[in-house]
Structure formats: structure tokens, C-alpha cells
Amino acid sequence: MHQNSILLLFFFLMGIALIVFTYIFFSSKKADQGMSNPLKKRFWFFLILVFILGIFASVTIPNSPYFAHAGETPAKVVHVAAAQFIFYMSEQAIDPAKPSGHPIELPANEVVEFRVTSLDVNHGFAIYDETGRLITQTQAMPGYVNRLRYKFDQPGKYHVLCLEYCGIAHQIMRTSFTVN
């Protein structure tokens, strides 16, 4: 699970930092010459950081959501209009003057595209699976349409929550759809 790997990575890095800082702090209690040749060590430290970050960037950037399923034709397009404090979802374009939606069913293992906009303030369009895990998201911004492509590999009921603070009922702004 993506979030678990992230948490493990964070704990691993935090552990290293805590060990290094603690070790360096206690080394000042048995002081002698200080660090020998700090410039050389600094240089190697810098190179290692550049190397690690370079690998991270080159592996992760191609996995950015903007490039997901970019060359494919979506099996289904869902229009989403967010408004304080409701989501309208429809397979037809939504009229901003008379917004309406209907229950959505999507196919599993096929690319679907959500075209997400807002009729008032900024909102979030965050898709959660049945276990309450956030699987993907985009923002709903007035005047713009964000296209989010995703392939659901598990059938079931998915929940959509607003993840951009939008006002007094932000915490209850939600909808759902089914993947068969």
C-alpha cells in the first residue's frame, strides 16, 4: 500500500536523523579534535544526497498522475461539478445554470476519465476505496476543468470527499459511485 511505504520511508529517515543527531550531541561530551577534514566529508555528503534525490526524482516524476493513461482512450467519461457543499456527477455535460447529476457506475479494469470543475469556490475531488484509503484525487477549480484518469482494479463502492477547505460544511461534502 502506497501510504504504508511512505510512512515506513519516513520512519526510516527519521530514525537515521535521530541517531546522527544523538551521536553527534554525545560526541561533544568526549571532545578532542573535532571533525577531521570536514570539507571533504561535506563534499561526499552532498554527492550522496544529490545521488539519492536524483534517483528519487527520475523514478517518481514519470509516475505523476498527469501522465497516467495519457495515450489511451477512456472507456467512460464522467463530468463532475462541485459546489458548496455537493458533488454533481453525470455522464453528460453539466449545465452550470441548472446543475444535476445521477448515480454513476464505472467499469473495472478500464480507464475512466473524470472532468472536474467547480461552480463556486475551490474544492477537492478525492476518491477513497471501501477501506477508507485515499487512492487518487484532483482539485475542482472554478473556470477550469481538471482531467483525472484512473483504472479501478477492484469492483466496489468508492467514496468521494472534498479535500480542499470550502467552508462551513466542508467536512460533510461527499458523494459515491460504484465500480462493477
Residue 128 identity (one-letter amino acid): Y
User: Could you tell me which stretch among 71-79, 86-94, 100-108, 122-130 binds another protein (CB under 8 A)?
Assistant: 122-130
- Closer Cβ to another protein, 102 or 133, answer by number: 133
* Least separation in angstroms between CB 67 and another protein: 8
User: Could you tell me which stretch among 41-49, 72-80, 86-94, 95-103 binds another protein (CB under 8 A)?
Assistant: 41-49
73 is a contact residue toward another protein (CB under 8 A): no
Taking CB under 8 A as the criterion, the residue among 79, 94, 113, 138 binding another protein is 138
Nearest to 156 by CA among 175, 131, 134: 131
> What Å distances lie between residue 169 and 80, 83, 142, 144, CA to CA?
19, 11, 18, 23
Q: Is 72 helix (H, G, I), strand (E, B) or coil?
A: coil
Residues 6+ apart with CB under 8 A from 147: 113, 114, 115, 116, 138
> What Å distances lie between residue 59 and 24, 53, 87, 98, 151, CA to CA?
33, 10, 34, 44, 21
DSSP state of 73: P
Binding pattern for the stretch 2-21 against another protein, x by CB under 8 A and - elsewhere: xxx-xx-xx--xx--xx-xx
User: Could you tell me which stretch among 48-56, 74-82, 93-101, 104-112 binds another protein (CB under 8 A)?
Assistant: 48-56
* Least separation in angstroms between CB 117 and another protein: 10
* Least separation in angstroms between CB 24 and another protein: 5
